[in-house]
Homo-oligomer: A and B are copies of this chain.
Amino acid sequence: MAEGEHARSSVTIYDVARVAQVAPSTVSRAFSRPGRVNSETAARIRRVADELGYRTSPLARAVSQSRTRLMALVVSDVANPFYAEVIHGAQAAATAAGYTLLLIDAQESERLERATLDRTLSSVDGVLLAGTRLSDSAIRMLAKQKPVIVLNRTIVDVPSVVPDNARGIRLAVEHLAELGHRSVTYVSGPEASWADGARWRAVLEATAGSSMRARRSGPYAPDVAGGVRAAEEIADRYPSAVIAYNDQLAIGLIRGLTARGVRVPRDVSVVGFDNIPVADLITPGLTTVAAPLYTEGATATRHLLTLVASGQRGTSLSAVLPVKLVVRGSTGRRGRRRSIPTPAAEGDD
């Protein structure tokens, strides 16, 4: 091998076969179906393979088997801590099953997402859509070609994995009610988001029976900057309690509010959603609905691989994962409000 160059073509199954004095197919069997070959022959083959430094070629195998042991994981922004946890779970489950992850970061661009997915689709056994810009119908089309699981969104005929949004929001609302709050504002995320709709509906449901009032503000970008903007908009007639679409929005909200002299939780209580790691690091700590991010990724992956293995399109493979409320410092008893001119219409907060 010339200096400065990489190893040429690798050792093939034929090389092993020749040295081990067996047919290539036998070598193949020795590696894929060890049971179907004489144990002595198998041992000899393995020994020769080791000596020669033979490595099977997953790609070549994939071509002849049309089974790649690769799965695509699509997110809209890898750097988002929400996805980080999901990826972590997906990665672990995939590795455990002998699968490898193809990471596709759509970078918030539908065009890029389609293009990349298009290029990649034939190389994978299945697709996990953790964060996607694709329309429901586009996803249904996709699901006709390959096994697909969507995360954090439900689509007719496509299996999904979602956190129990309704219960999470209910827990949050109850928590606020216990603290004496009589009204809650939902600070919403992206308009088109299924999760946002689900959460807002849950707020309405959770407050319906009680004496709590629900309002909505937004939409805002589901990041810290979006939260800061939200704070600007609600600062002059801020509510006593807020539930934000997600943690990042909540964190931005707290920042923006604090910067304007509104104290959290003294003046306003803030609840987030997801429980990303930062929630515990900021001051005050963020009270939030803890979604099992890691588990979502892992579960979705397992379901996907089940689908792959069965070769069916099991739409019944959806899951709703349990959530819980993590109470930290950003929520507190409803206090006497500082005197701020408030529209007369609102008498109770």
A336 CB-CB contact with B under 8 Å: no
Q: Are A103 and B105 in contact (CB under 8 A)?
A: no
On chain A, the number of residues with a Cβ less than 8 Å from chain B's Cβ atoms is: 61
Return chain B residues, CB-CB under 8 Å to A92: 105, 107
Tell me which of B62, B63, B66, B79 contacts A88 (CB under 8 A): B79
A106-128 interface bits toward B, Cβ cutoff 8 Å, 1 = contact, 0 = none:
01000010001011111100000
Name the B residues within 8 Å of A66 (CB-CB): 9
Copies of this chain = 2
Which of A79, A84, A85, A145 has the largest number of chain B CB atoms within 10 A? A79
Name the distance in Å between A1's Cβ and chain B's nearest Cβ. Answer: 9
**Complex partner residue of A58 from B77, B123, B146, CB under 8 angstroms:** B123
Across-interface contacts of A95 in B (CB, < 8 A):
105, 107, 112, 116
- Chain A 75-106, CB within 8 Å of chain B: the 1/0 string? 00111110011011001100100101111110
Give the interface SS of chain A, mostly helix, strand, loop or mixed: mixed
Q: Check A79–B85 contact: CB distance below 8 A.
A: yes
Does A7 lie at the interface of the complex (its beta carbon under 8 Å from any beta carbon of B)?
yes
Residue from the list B6, B9, B147 in contact with A311, Cβ < 8 A: B6
Which of B57, B68, B105 interacts with A122 by CB under 8 Å? B57
CB of A10 within 8 A of chain B? Answer: yes
Instruction: List chain B residues, Cβ under 8 A from A98.
Output: 119
State whether B81 touches A105 (Cβ < 8 A). no
Any chain B CB within 8 A of the CB of A52?
A: no
The answer to whether A311 and B119 have CB atoms under 8 Å apart is no
- Is A261 part of the contact surface with B, judged by Cβ < 8 Å? no
Q: Per a CB cutoff under 8 Å, which of B84, B112, B122, B281 touches A55?
A: B122
A267 to B282, CA, bound (A): 20
Q: Are B281 and A251 in contact (CB under 8 A)?
A: yes
CB pair B145–A6 under 8 Å, yes or no, is yes
Q: How far is the CA of A311 from the CA of B102 in the complex (A)?
A: 24
Kindly state the separation between the CA atoms of A6 and B311 in the bound complex, as whole angstroms. 7
Known: A85-B79, A101-B102, A102-B102. A7 touches B145 (CB 8 A): yes
Known: A55-B121, A59-B122, A122-B59. A105 touches B79 (CB 8 A): no
Contact A122 B278 (CB under 8 A): no
A313 beta carbon closer than 8 Å to chain B: yes
- A312 at interface (Cβ–Cβ under 8 A)? yes
Chain B residues with CB under 8 A of A101: 102-103
A105 in contact with B84 (CB, 8 Å): no
Q: How far apart are A109's CB and chain B's nearest CB, in angstroms? A: 10
Residues of A within 8 A of B (CB): 4-7, 9-10, 55-60, 62-63, 66, 68, 70, 73, 77-81, 84-85, 87-88, 91-92, 95, 98, 100-105, 107, 112, 116, 118-123, 144-147, 224, 251, 255, 277-278, 281-283, 311-313
Contacts A5-B313, A60-B63, A80-B84 given; 10 further ones with Cβ under 8 A? A5-B311, A55-B122, A57-B122, A79-B277, A88-B105, A92-B105, A95-B112, A278-B278, A282-B283, A283-B283
